[in-house]
Amino acid sequence: MSKLFDVAVVGATGAVGNQMIACLEERNFPVKTLKLLASEISIGKKLKYKGKDIPVEVLSENSFDGLQIALFSAGGGTSQKFAPIAASKGCVVVDNSSAWRMDPEVPLVVPEVNPHAIARHKGIIANPNCSTIQMVVALKPIHDVARIKRIVVSTYQAVSGTGQKAINELHDQVTAIMNFREVETKVYHRQIAFNCFPHIDVFLENDYTKEEMKMVNETRKIMEDDSIMVAATAVRVPVFYSHSEAVNIETEKKISPAEVRELLDRSPGLRVVDDPKDLIYPTALDATGGDTTLVGRIREDISIKNGIVMWIVADNIRKGAATNAVQIAEILAEKYL
């Protein structure tokens, strides 16, 4: 990559935005200029990129003039309004919110799974939901050889997925409890410290939550197979970073746990961490800070004929959000700009 690009991060002061800046730096993305955008409350803040302090600017309709790439992570409303404005000015948006993911005109991309979808972008590319990203990274290689018919997944999701305010809420609640103080609940409906609740995003008409239905619909779109049946239960747990998932799959063709281990270990973005006799399996702490999706506890689903059970863990802020967005931008920069 010899060309350099004028890049913006929208939502730069947030949990994901901050990590996007770090990923651009770590992966040595070909940045010519970097613009950091947030709301009025961030006026006066500066953030570091490659050792330099960059002042945060207030997002406006003129923010995208002269830019080629914008990474958005400032909530659905901001993306809904500003992504088309950026696109109309020739600045391609990689959007981490759910605003555009199911739009048929917008590619929804996990680079290990469907990088080819980037080719048909019309100015906006959507970054999938964090829980979906790590699941499809692990399931796509199996789908290719054995065809997955059905997925049943339960998630154990870190609070950082809700943003910086939720990270602070878990910290403050744990501190309050340890100091015999009253617990304050502001971000979530229920206490998150020393608790877990099966409620992520809003409840829908069918009694699933929006997060659970994102896993159903986004999995089909990314895997390009609407016949895959998915049932999800999304659970928030008192973990700061990295989501874990217990996943049962039913395949058309029989595949053994040994074959799955061998297959996943040589697939991109994945590492098998699975040796029960030595108590080896991946945990949230093992995945945190890395970009690899870790898979363990691979075993036969003994309740059905062709089934596998596994445990999938990844850093939700990195592979589940910032890294995936930067990987998309890398392909965009290399092939399509």
Residues in contact with ligand A2P by CB under 6 A are 11-15, 17, 38-39, 41-42, 59, 74-75, 78, 163-165
Identify whether the C-beta of residue 32 lies closer than 8 Å to the C-beta of residue 334: no
Nearest residue relative to ligand A2P (C-beta): 14
Please state the closest distance from residue 326 (CB atom) to ligand A2P, in A: 17
Residue 10 or 135: the one with the smaller Cβ distance to ligand A2P is 10
234 SS3 class: strand
Asked if residue 200 lies in contact with residue 211, where contact means CB atoms within 8 angstroms, the answer is: yes
- Least CB distance to ligand A2P at residue 233 (A): 24
199 in Cβ contact with 189 (< 8 Å): yes
Helices 257-265 and 130-146: crossing angle, nearest 10°? 120
> What secondary structure letter does DSSP report for 64?
T
Q: Name which of 92, 93, 132 is nearest 113 in CA terms.
A: 132
- Please say which residue, 13 or 242, places its beta carbon nearer to ligand A2P: 13
Active-site positions read 130, 243
DSSP 267: S
Residues pairing with 209 in the sheet: 203
Contacts 24+ apart (CB under 8 A), 54-59: 56/12, 56/13, 59/10
**Which is nearest to 126 in space by CA: 149, 147, 102?**
102
Compute the least distance from the CB of residue 165 to ligand A2P, in Å: 6
User: Position of tokens 């003994």?
Assistant: 302
Q: Which two tokens stand for residue 163?
A: 């943003």
Smallest gap from Cβ 241 to ligand A2P, in A, equals 13
Closest to ligand A2P by CB, 75 vs 257, is 75
Q: Which is nearer to ligand A2P, 74 or 308 (CB)?
A: 74
Chain CA centroid to CA 185, Å? 25
**Minimum distance from CB of 164 to ligand A2P (Å)?**
4
Comparison of 95 and 250: residue with beta carbon closer to ligand A2P? 95
DSSP letters of 152-197? EEEEEE-GGGG-HHHHHHHHHHHHHHHTTPPPP-SSSSS--TT--B
